Amino acid sequence: MAATLPSAKPAPGLSKAKARITPGDSSLAARLRREIEGDVLFDSFSRGRYSTDASIYQIEPLGVVVPHSEADVLRALDIARAEGIPVLPRGGGTSQCGQTVNEALVIDHSRFLNDVISVDPEARTAWVHPGITLDKLNKQLKGTGLFFPVDISTGSRATIGGMAGNNSCGSRSLRYGNMVHNVRAIDAVLADGSQAR
């Protein structure tokens, strides 16, 4: 059977960026270093570390930003949008399916954006940064009578942001559900720069 296949054209604006932004691009690294306070890692060793996760896939990123604050994340996203390059948020890199590797600007939330912001035991809610690990969250919830029930096997390294992105589940999911059943809201920045909840 013959079929007409769609053109394999990249998204508008992306083809220009791909031609001029390459892994380790020094001009992109310099701009990020000027405009954010976080760590900017474009050396080959760092890109190599971020080119793998728990899967079999290996894809070298353009570079890595380790934001110190939410303002760093917003500015890095603005720069990536202006340059026409894709962004890949990353936490612990525990995915076995390759979701945390790509030829993109990796933004690693796990080093500095990894805290509980607030807990309301009466409402049974906790606001957290995306880089907090499951085990760290449950340790901090211990005295409240609450716990986060999605019990993946890599809880010491997997981040809540990554778990939400993958809709993670575990052995208790039959009783408590998976991520979609346990997350009430996410503050997100969309591709156009707008913020949503």
* pLDDT tens digits, 44-60: 999 999 999 999 999 99
pTM of structure: 0.85
Q: Are residues 90 and 153 in the same domain?
A: no
Residue recorded with tokens 């809880």: 155
| Residues whose CB is less than 8 angstroms from the CB of residue 83 and which lie 6 or more positions away in sequence, other chains included | 17, 21, 28
Instruction: Find the domain containing 180 and state its range.
Output: 116-196
Q: Are residues 127 and 187 in the same domain?
A: yes
Report the distance separating Cα 184 and Cα 120, nearest Å: 13
Average pLDDT, 10 consecutive residues per value, the chain (197 residues): 48 49 86 97 96 93 97 97 95 88 96 97 97 97 95 91 92 92 94 91
Give domain status of residue 11, yes or no. Answer: no
Q: Tell me, what CATH number does 45's domain have?
A: 3.30.43.10
